[in-house]
Structure 1
C-alpha cells in the first residue's frame, strides 16, 4: 500500500521522492472503483489526467521577503502572517489566501481554481516558484484563466489533507508542492505535485497543463464536475469509517504489538540500522513500539527475545546519531537521509522530529543508563533552546534545507550551511584537524561516496557531511589518550566549526508556532528534567551539549505550555487555535493539536509540574471529545466539521513522521483513566475501546502502519496499570529526587501522581477528581516528608521515603 516513489525529471532533481512515512490516511480501504476514475472521462481527458502522473515528490522553500525592498508586484498574500504565503507575496500571480473571497471570485468569473499547497522550508516549492510563479507568462495564464490560491499546509493541514488524499488515491503518491485544480465549489478536478515550466522528456510542462485544463473546463465541464463530486463522495465514505461494535475482539490488542514488532523486525537493516531501506526516515514510533514490546517480553520472562528487540533499537539509535542525518556541530536531526548509511540528509530540520527523537533517546537512556543516549537527547533539546525558541518560550516550527553560499547571495543551495571542505576544516581547527577529520570521515575530494544514492549528481563534490564511522575507543587508544581527553578535543573542534558556521548565511527559519508540534517538544523537555537526573555525577558534557541542570528543561516545558495557554487558547470557548505568528492564525485547533498538547501536559504534570497542567489536560480532553469524537461510529475526526470549505472529515490512523491523533488520543485516555474517579475512568476507557474498534482491521492486518496505536491498544487492556502516588511538599529537593526515582526505570504502563497536602489547589483538585488520592494525602504519616505509595490491583505498598527503595520497588526486573 505504501510505496516509495523516486522519480527523476532532470539531472539536478535528485530527490523527487515520496515515502511511506508521510502517508497518514487509510488509502488501502478505498473502493476499487476509485482509481479507475479517468474511465469516466473522454480519451483526450484521460491522457491529460495521465500526464499528471509527473508526481515529482518534493518538499521545500523560498526566500524571505524584505520590507525595505521595492517590488514590481504585490498580491493579497502580503497581508498574511504565514512565512510561506509571504514568500509568494510579490509574485506576478494574483494569489489569494484560502477563503471566501477567493471562492466568490471563482464563482463570479466562472473559472476553475488553481490551488498550490506547500510550506516555507520546502525545496521544490521554491523551485516551482522561481521557475513558474515568478514567470510573467505563467502568471498571465493563471491570472486570465484561474483564481489562484496559496495554502501553507502547516497552517491549514485540514485543507492539505483533502487534496493530498485525492492525489494519493488517484495516482498512488503525493508530495509538496501540491498542485490541484478545483471547481468553484472546491471539488477536485485533477492534481499533481511539482511541474517544470516547459514540456520535457515527453511530459507536459506547467504552461501546457494550464492551457489544457482551461480548455477542458470550457469543453468538458460537466464530466469534470461529475468526477469531482464522485471522488469526494467515495473518499468521504472510505475515510470516515465507523466501528461495527463498541468492542475490540479479544486478543486483537495484545496480538497487535507482537504482529507489529514481527513486521518491523522483518524490515530491519542489520548492517546500517533502522527498519527499512533508503531513503531512511527516523520514525520514532517504530522505536517506541519495539521498546514497548521488549518490556513486555521481560515481564513474561522471555529475556532472550527481549534482548533481540532491544538490540535492534539501540543499534538503530546509534547509527542515526553517528550519521550525517544528525547535526554534529549544532545539534538536532535533519529530516531523513537519502542513502542507507544515514549519511547524506535532506537538511531540513523539523520540530516534530526533534521532540519525538529526544523522547526515544531518553527512553533508551532510562533502560541502559548509557550516557551516549542521554547526550543525544540533550544535544536535541539544547539545539531547540538555542535556535528554535522565542523570547516568550514559544518553540518554532522548522529550519530550511537551503541557504546561500555567502552573505548577499540570491542563489541558494541545499545543505550549504552544513557541509565542509577538508581545507576549511584544517584552517578552522588547526592543531587537531587530522584527529577531527579521521573521526568524521572527512576527505579532500569529499565524503559523499558511501552509497550510489548519496550524491548521484555530484552536488556535494569536494564537500563533506560529517559522519562517525570508527570506534571511539580504538581511535583514542591509537593516539595514546584517554576517551575523556579524546571527547574533549572533539568538543573543542566542534565549537570552532560552530563559530565559523555561525558567520555563514543561515537557513530560513519558519518561526510559526504550531500547537501540536509544541506539544511533542513539551513532552520531551518535561521528561528530560527527571530522567536525566539518572546520569552519573561525574558525567562530562562536550559541545554542542550545554550540560545544564536537568530541572531547567522543566522550566522550558512550562514556558512553552504557558505561551500556548496565553496566546492560543480561549478560556471562554475552551478552544485552541492551530498556530501563531504575529498573532493567532485563523485556523482552529485540529485533533492533533489537542491530542499532542494533552500528551505534553500529562508529561509536564507527571514529571513534576503543577496540578494546573493536569487540570488543563482534562479540560482539553473534554473539548476534544466535544469537537472531534464520533460518538456513534467511534474514533476522532481530524477536524471539527465546522468549516464548509473543508470537504472531508478524516479519521486518521497512520503513525508516520508524526503519530496520528487517534493513536495519541488512545494513550491519553488510558493515562487519564488511571488518574480520575472510577465513573470517569470507565468513560475514558469506553471511548478508547470504541476508537480501537474503528481501526480493528489495521491492528489485525497492517499493524506496522500503526505502531503507536498498537501500544495504546495493549495499554488499554493491561490488567492493572501501576500507580505511584507521591505525597509531600513539592518545593523540596526530596520531592525532585523522589519523582525522579518514580520515573527512573522504563515503564509505559505506570502513572505518577503527586500531591502536596499543604497545597489547597492540589487538595481541591483531587477531592473533585479522585477522592482516593485526597484520602491518601490526608492519611500520610508525615506532611513535611515526601512519601511514596505504589498501588496496583486495588492495593498499595507500605509507604516508602527513600528514592533508592522506590527505584528497587518499581524495577525488580531491569531490561
Structure 2
C-alpha cells in the first residue's frame, strides 16, 4: 500500500500505511501534492508522517523522501530505541530560506537516505509550536552566538541539544559556505558521541570481509566518481590527497594530505562532498561499542582544548557530556572508576592510564568552562590515583594493588601538578616531588600524551614552581577553595 519505501528506511507498519493512504485520498480537490518525486500519473512517490498533520507548513514536507516525524514522544522514543541522535528542523511557511533548504536538501534522495539511516528526523512549525521554537532558539544562540531560521538542531533522545545552527547549503562550497549539510551530517555521525555521551572505542577493521574497504580509494575509482567535475578537479584532488596509481596501502590509497594547501582544500570542497556521498553507500564496518575510560579522557581533552581555542561551544558541550558519562556510568563498587562500559554495565577496575587521562580531561574541561565541579572531580580522582597506584619508593604502578612495573611517571606527575596548580595547596606537592627525586629524569623523557610541557617529569615540577604558567586563573584562599566544596 505504501507507494514507495523512503530511502534508507524500513517499510512503514501496515496501520500507518493505511492512515497515510486515506489521508492522501482525502486531500481537498485541486490541491496538488507538493513534491519533486512523482510517478508517471503525477502521484507522489513518497509520503511520510507529516501527511497526518494539520499545519500547512508541515504538509508542504509530507512528500519529502525524508522519514519525518512530527514533534512528540514517538520520535524521541524511536531515537532511544535505535540509539541515534535526532535532527530537528524548525521553520515556517513565510520563511524563504526554509523553502530553499527543502528544495536543496530535504527533496534530495541521497541526503534523505543518509538522514533516514543515521538520524531520527523531526519537523516543527514554529508558528504552531512557539514553545519548542523558543527553547531551541535559545540553545542555538548559546551554542553559536546568533540565531535564525531555518533552525537546525541536533538533540539526543533526551531532547538535549549538542549541536545547532541555521541554514546550511547542501554541499561544501555552495553559496559560499565552507561546510555543507552533507558534510555536517557525515561529520556529526562519524565523530560525535553516542546518545548517552560516551565515545565508543573503534570501528571494525573489515567491511564485506575486506580490511579497510570502507575507508580506502583507488585512483580509478576517484577519477570515475569525480568525472562530472572535470579532469582538472580530479587531478588536483589526486595530488592534494597523495593518491598514487599503485596505492599507498595494499594497492589502495588512504587519503592524506602530504603538503597542506588551504586554497586547494577550499577548491576541492565539492569533490569531497561527492566522495562522502559515495562512501555513505558502502557497507559500513561494525562499531566496537565499548567505552574506555582512558580514551574518553583523551577525547575530553581534545574537544575541550579545541572548543576553547577555536571558540566553538559544541566541542566543549560534547566534552562535558562525555565527562558526565565517565563520572556517572564508569563506576563500580564503592564508586571506583572502571575501565570499560558495554551493554549498560561498567566493568574492570581502571588502570593508571584511565585515571591519568581522565584527570587531564577534567582539568582541560575546567579550563574551557571554569565550572568548579570539573576541577573538584579532577582532584578527587587525582587523590584516588595516588592512593591506588603510587609506589612509596617512587614511580607509579600501572595496575593496582601495587604490583608490576612502574609506568607513565611523567604523565601522572604532570596531571597532579596541573590539578594542584589551580588551588595552590602546598600540602599536596610532596607526592610529585618524591617521584621527581626518586626517578632518573631521562627514564620518563617522552612526549606527554595529552598536553606537552617540556620533555621530562622535571619540567612538570618546574612548571609548578613558576618556570612556565598555564593561562588560567589560580584560586587563592578559603573563599576560592570553598567554590570547589
TM band (smaller chain): 0.5 to 0.7
RMSD: 3.6
Partner of 1:767 in structure 2?
482
Partner of 2:218: 421
Deviation at 1:428, TM superposition (A): 2.6
Query: Partners of 2:448 and 2:306 in 1: how far apart?
Result: 26
Give the alignment of 1:258-273 within 5 angstroms: none
Alpha-carbon distance in 2 for matches of 1:627, 1:719:
23
Match of 1:717 among 450, 458, 462: 462
> Is residue 414 of structure 2 the alignment partner of residue 667 of structure 1?
yes
Residue 622 of structure 1: CA displacement? Answer: 1.4
2:206 to 402, 408, 411: 402
What's the CA shift string for 1:359-384, capped at 9, x where partnerless?
A: xxxxxxxxxxxxxxxx9xxx99x957
Q: Secondary structure at the match of 1:441?
A: helix
Q: Specify whether residues 440 and 594 from structure 1 end up closer, same or farther in structure 2 by C-alpha distance, changes over 3 A only.
A: same
* Equivalent residue for 2:328, pick from 563, 566, 577: 566
* 1:605 corresponding residue in structure 2: 366
- List aligned pairs for 1:213-232, cutoff 5 A: none
Distance 1:587 1:471 in 2: 42
Partners of 2:299 and 2:319 within 8 A in 1:
yes
Q: Does 1:679 align with 2:416?
A: no
Residue 207 of structure 2 aligns to a residue whose secondary structure is strand
Q: Is the 8 A contact 1:393 1:556 kept in 2?
A: yes
Aligned to 1:554: 316
Matches within 5 A, 1:260-659: 383=187, 386-387=190-191, 389-404=193-208, 412-441=209-238, 447=244, 449=246, 454=248, 459-460=250-251, 463-468=252-257, 472=261, 483=263, 487-533=265-311, 550-569=312-331, 573-631=334-392, 633-641=393-401, 648-652=403-407
Q: Deviations over 1:499-545 (max 9, x none)?
A: 11011111231111001110011011111112113xxxxxxxxxxxx
- Report the 3-state secondary structure (helix = DSSP H, G, I; strand = E; otherwise coil) of the residue aligned with 2:300: helix
CA distance in 1 between partners of 2:206 and 2:188 (Å): 19
Whole-angstrom distance in 2 between the partners of 1:469 and 1:592: 32
C-alpha distance after superposition, 1:264-285 (max 9, x if no partner): xxxxxxxxxxxxxxxxxxxxxx
Quick one: structure 1 residues 671 and 397, their matched pair in 2 at CA, closer, same or farther if it must change by over 3 Å? same
Q: Distance in 1 between matches of 2:260 and 2:335?
A: 53
Distance 1:553 1:492, change over 3 A: same
Residue of structure 1 equivalent to 2:93: none
Q: Deviations over 1:210-230 (max 9, x none)?
A: xxxxxxxxxxxxxxxxxxxxx
| Runs of 5+ unmatched residues, structure 2 | 1-178
Take 2:318 and 2:448, find their aligned partners in 1: how far apart are those partners? Answer: 30
The answer to whether the Cα contact below 8 Å between 2:375 and 2:419 also exists between their aligned partners in 1 is: no
Rounded Cα–Cα distance in structure 1 between residues aligned with 2:350 and 2:391 = 17
> Secondary structure of 1:752's match?
coil
- Could you tell me which of 689, 696, 703 is aligned with 2:433? 689
Bigger relative CO (Cα 8 Å, ≥ 6 apart): 1
Residue in structure 1 matched with residue 114 of structure 2 by the alignment: none
Say if 1:512 and 1:579, in contact at 8 Å, map to a contact too. yes
Distance 1:470 1:605, change over 3 A: closer
TM-score, length-scaled by structure 2: 0.54
Indicate the residue corresponding to 2:442 in structure 1. Answer: 700
Secondary structure of the residue that 1:511 maps to in structure 2? Answer: strand
Q: 1:388, CA displacement in angstroms?
A: 5.3
Shift of 1:597: 0.5
- Aligned-pair distance for 1:494? 0.6
* Per-residue deviation, residues 784-805 of structure 1 (Å, max 9, x unmatched): xxxxxxxxxxxxxxxxxxxxxx
